[in-house]
Amino acid sequence: MANIDYAGYGVWNSTNDVTSKVRQQYAAGQRRFIANNGDYGDPAPGERKYLYIIWNNTDSGVVGEDDARGVTVP
């Protein structure tokens, strides 16, 4: 089981800290995370946003908005 250290969603200096949301989703069994405004808000209207997740202090992933590949956290 992974420990989610930090998760952010946005672009440039317009980023939401979504760590608690990603932790809740992970605890509920979700392992693939898709960057989207519906789950994480819209900190930069009109801009393509990115979801980045850091887990276990050493592993990380990033994905662009609405990219179905998502970030998979083991």
Q: Which helix (H) or strand (E) holds 40?
A: helix 37-40
Could you tell me where the DSSP H helices lie in the chain?
A: 19-27, 37-40
In this prediction, residue 62 carries a pLDDT of 98
Joined tokens for residue 30: 């979700």
Residue extents of the structural domains in the chain: 4-72
Q: Tens digits of per-residue pLDDT, 30-55?
A: 999 999 999 999 999 999 999 999 99
pLDDT band of residue 57 (cuts 50, 70, 90) is: very high
Q: Tens digits of per-residue pLDDT, 4-35?
A: 999 999 999 999 999 999 999 999 999 999 99
Q: Which helix (H) or strand (E) holds 38?
A: helix 37-40
